[in-house]
A and B are shown apart, each in its own frame.
Chain A
């Protein structure tokens, strides 16, 4: 009997496909998420929009909070660690969370190195802006990838950019001959074996979700139409005027993204979405997606 294998780690990500993973900060919010049909919850101290407003150093959530949320729901519970903070990751593994998000939303602990994710039984998800970044994280052992987007803005533009970039780069690899793959690996700054694998299969070797700025059912459906396997929603649910309704509508739009009639129906009468932020108004120092490499 083998635990913590690559197959078992990537397999849990496979089971989340077509689903919505919701940021929650209390056990009550976790129950609302589960009731709405979330496939997993992300246990946090503060949602990204509040992390932006609050400033200071953002860290792993208090273990008490994570335990309360674990006890409140039957679906998988994820939690975030700072980039490179392998000690926070060891704590989350000891707490028995189901997935660890090594996240740019928290303040990075190491500007050069990410966590060696092969060393863990618990699977990891990491953010990526392009194919090279995704393959570097997979090379370090990530079992799932998500777009970085720009968390806490309610603005989907960066998630769209990141997903389109990954897709375009995967397509391009498929057009290359075998003798061109080493140069492609050099240009992408990615492990050759993974570049060769993607060139052959035409897809990432792990599940790829959308994250960062998804605020409405139509945003979620858009990301599915662009080829994402599922959706993370951070501030979009509990910063809206009617969280249970938003949560449910986003779940339904993620499943029925191919049916605009369904997306139209579930989008009706939801009340106010979370307030959004124009990206041009953000200082470079306030952009989270540039954290990590």
Chain B
């Protein structure tokens, strides 16, 4: 059975995540309303603008059901904006956060768009480096004790896992390498 995995489809690179999940062996579907969460085994929060996605989720009554579902064990994966939304805190500003991943994230940590980059990245659990695309990307400024760091750029964690919650500052959905989505699909089992 292919696990049913939702992609939060309020704004961002939803289409790329749907394709990556399909390639990784899941049955993807979009989530725009709270009742779309029923029957899911995993949820992806895509790249996009975290302030936009967070505000829309609050205004349309998705925020609390989503938080409750993840807190209750629904596997979750956030990329870039998704990582920010999963976090318990951000270093600057005030925005809605789900608080299900014990990290404090620094937004746009690498800089503005001119500092966006791609790089071959060593990721714990993968045999060969992963070609990672960072776009106005955040990094993890502070991680709790239960958070496992899976990849770093310089000294900064850019991919972390805490139990059933996975997050990366980069965008595996923008490349054709399905390994990280496969890792997440396995976490839904």
Contacts and interface: CB of A to CB of B under 8 A. Distances in A.
Interface of A: 1-5, 7-8, 11-12, 14-19, 34, 37-40, 74-76, 93, 96-99, 121-123, 251-252, 255-256, 259, 262
Contact of A15 (B80, B93, B117): B80
A12 B16 contact: no
Most buried by B among A40, A74, A93: A74
B51 A11 contact: no
Contact of A98 (B11, B32, B119, B136): B136
Contacts of A8: 113, 116-118, 133-135
A15 B81 contact: yes
B47 to A, nearest CB: 5
- Shortest beta-carbon contacts, A-B, top 6: A98-B113, A18-B11, A39-B49, A14-B13, A8-B116, A37-B55
B5 interface: no
Nearest to A259: B32
A255 B62 CA distance: 13
Given A2-B118, A18-B10, A93-B114, 13 more contacts: A5-B118, A7-B118, A7-B174, A8-B118, A15-B80, A17-B11, A18-B9, A19-B11, A19-B49, A37-B55, A39-B49, A122-B114, A251-B56
Most buried by B among A11, A39, A99, A262: A11
Contacts of A98: 112-114, 136
B180 interface: no
B100 to A, nearest CB: 22
Nearest to B30: A258
Contacts of A93: 114
Label chain A's interface by main secondary structure: loop
Contacts of B114: 3-4, 93, 96, 98, 121-122
A17 B7 CA distance: 14
Interface of B: 9-16, 32, 47-49, 51-52, 55-56, 59-60, 80-81, 92-93, 107-108, 112-119, 133-136, 171, 174
Given A12-B135, A18-B9, A99 B113 contact: yes
B116 A11 contact: yes
B174 A14 contact: yes
A121 to B, nearest CB: 5
A91 to B, nearest CB: 13
Contacts of B32: 255-256, 259
Contacts of B116: 3, 8, 11-12
B16 A14 contact: yes
A112 to B, nearest CB: 29
B119 A18 contact: no
Contacts of B108: 74
B138 to A, nearest CB: 11
Contacts of A37: 51-52, 55-56
A40 B108 CA distance: 14
Contacts of A4: 114
A39 B52 contact: yes
A74 B133 CA distance: 20
B118 A39 contact: no
Contacts of A256: 32, 60
Contact of A19 (B9, B16, B48, B92): B48
A72 to B, nearest CB: 12
